[in-house]
Structure 1
Amino acid sequence: MAVTERQAVRDEAPPALRLRLLGGFHLSRGEDDGGGQVDVSVSGQQLLALLGLRGPATRSVLAGTLWPDVTEERARACLRTAIWRLNTASSAVADPRPGVLALSGRVRLDVQDFTVTARRILTASAEGTGAACASLMGMGELLPGWYQDWVVFERERLHQLRLHALEALSARLVVREQYAPALEAALECTRIDPLRESAHRAVVTVHLAENNLAEAMRHFKAFRGLLRTELGIEPSEQFRTMVRHALT
């Protein structure tokens, strides 16, 4: 049986590895982190993270991205070593077609789970909002302490996706009159990004929906003070109009 055929058969098996990138790198056996940690070299961690975040890629792209400061020949040698070490320990890397590498189908990735949840919130109904709220509230930052350009880009992308999902979740919960989790989601947005006006509008929206005018005004004034102190600007006309209409 060819190598790719053997890999395809192996990838049909249920996920046997759990790769966590949110909150820090962690590879473990089994469906959760209790299955036993797999030790991975630094280069192996970077390879798995890149494949998890960017998807399948050619060997030349992977080598050039991970080892940009060495010759192409040396970068390819480093990549071969990283692959050998990874597959000796975990069989986490697959070769779906010649010259291309990808995460094995045996790997379950937390970033993928988060992305599916966030996009479902942004595009679908409010079903399962309790689990979605818990998922969005509990996630950590993508690979803290990693400063490669490709990590920084993906970190910001996921950061923005999370904020938009939390705001959408808050708005959807307000419609369902589930004000406590709606407020929790909105406040989480303000914790993540204290200067994000749309997040503060979401908080005020929840307070107004509950007819808590005093709470709404208190939050608005606190945000206005923060903007003046940090940026020397005022809240948008949209936000000020929203508050004025609530008081009339």
Structure 2
Amino acid sequence: MNTAVWRARQALSQCGKSQEGFLVTTADGKVGFQADADYWCDAEEFEALATSALSESEPAANGGSIANLEASLRIYRGELLEGLYDDWALCERLRLSDLHERVLHRLMILLADSGALDRAIYYGNTLISADPLREDIHCSLMEYYHRQGNYNHCRRQYERCREAVKRELQCEPLEETTRLHHQLLKGSHRAKSDTSLPTAGRGGHLDEIRHSLRDAQAQLDRASKLFNQLITR
């Protein structure tokens, strides 16, 4: 405890802050952070901005929604307290990481709906880098590349999806993902409305369940990697 308090005081002094305004002690020797102190926390600010932006009216592609979502991303600097493996830190890290992915997903949709395909592709690829098993995002990127007439990228996106699923889950992509890939390569101008893609709001209940299971598996894999890092330290 003494070491932790000393480190907190050192960190505050390096920021030019007096620890008296931030650290509180109780009669029984407990030490805590003064929650109503004049401080700024990037994680709290990101969560507040992201939650507010995501709660706005569903994907009406307007500049305000896009600007608010991008404002939250400018604050996000990566995983929370990377290198700390206490249980509470692992849970908070995963929660904020999931929120970050939701922001990226919403931005991708809004930008694509507004015709800004290059920016939509950028955020889609950012999301795929964070979670390579998101087949719904791979499908969206294939469609965006096809709309641009970039058929080679469309083909490579499917292969990227297939390799990730094979590597992490030892199976092939969902049937709907492969069907979309073949349909786009055949030169259809856009996916037919009767093609059930594994994206939110499009597939049937079975597709949603299968995709949820894959999401759960991906989260479990991330948690397992964090756990392995913890026990090998």
User: Normalising by the residue count of structure 2, what TM-score does the alignment of the two structures yield?
Assistant: 0.60
Partner of 2:197: none
Structure 2 residue 45 is matched with structure 1 residue 113: yes
CA contact (8 A) 1:190 1:196 kept: yes
Deviations 1:133-161 (A, max 9, x none): 36426521101121121111111111111
Selected match of 2:146 from 208, 215, 225: 208
Where 1:108 maps in the other structure, the secondary structure is coil
Selected match of 1:123 from 45, 51, 55: 55
Selected match of 1:36 from 15, 40, 45: 15
| Matches for 1:85-100 after TM superposition, within 5 Å | 93=34
Partner of 1:144: 82
Deviations 1:60-99 (A, max 9, x none): xxxxxxxxxxxxxxx98342xx24xxxxxxxx61xxxxxx
Q: Are the structure 2 counterparts of residues 147 and 186 from structure 1 closer, same or farther at C-alpha, using a change threshold of 3 Å? A: same
Root mean square deviation, CA, Å: 3.3
CA contact (8 A) 2:54 2:69 kept: no
Letter in 1 for 2:15: G
C-alpha distance in 1 between matches for 2:90 and 2:100? 15
CA contact (8 A) 2:101 2:127 kept: yes
Q: Are the structure 2 counterparts of residues 207 and 117 from structure 1 closer, same or farther at C-alpha, using a change threshold of 3 Å? A: farther
Where 1:104 maps in the other structure, the secondary structure is coil
More strand by share: 1
Q: Are the structure 2 counterparts of residues 238 and 38 from structure 1 closer, same or farther at C-alpha, using a change threshold of 3 Å? A: farther
C-alpha distance in 1 between matches for 2:65 and 2:54? 13
1 or 2 for the larger relative contact order (CA 8 Å, sep ≥6)?
Answer: 1
Partner of 1:132: 69
Partner of 1:77: 28
Partner of 1:104: 36
CA contact (8 A) 2:107 2:120 kept: yes
| Residue 235 of structure 1, CA deviation | 1.1
Letter in 2 for 1:116: A
Deviations 1:93-146 (A, max 9, x none): 1xxxxxxxxx11623332222123322443325415256336426521101121
CA contact (8 A) 1:227 1:233 kept: yes
- Number of residue-to-residue matches in the alignment: 168
Structure 1 spans left out of the alignment, 5+ residues: 1-25, 30-34, 48-58, 60-74, 84-91, 94-102
Q: Are the structure 2 counterparts of residues 225 and 180 from structure 1 closer, same or farther at C-alpha, using a change threshold of 3 Å? A: same
Structure 2 spans left out of the alignment, 5+ residues: 1-9, 189-233
User: Normalising by the residue count of structure 1, what TM-score does the alignment of the two structures yield?
Assistant: 0.57
C-alpha distance in 1 between matches for 2:180 and 2:52? 28
Q: Are the structure 2 counterparts of residues 235 and 106 from structure 1 closer, same or farther at C-alpha, using a change threshold of 3 Å? A: same
Q: Are the structure 2 counterparts of residues 214 and 36 from structure 1 closer, same or farther at C-alpha, using a change threshold of 3 Å? A: same
CA contact (8 A) 1:133 1:185 kept: no
The share of aligned pairs that are identical, in percent, is 23
Letter in 2 for 1:163: E
| Matches for 1:1-248 after TM superposition, within 5 Å | 36-38=15-17, 77-79=28-30, 82-83=31-32, 93=34, 103-104=35-36, 106-124=38-56, 126=62, 127=64, 129-130=66-67, 132-133=69-70, 135-136=72-73, 138-246=76-184, 247=186, 248=188
Where 1:77 maps in the other structure, the secondary structure is coil
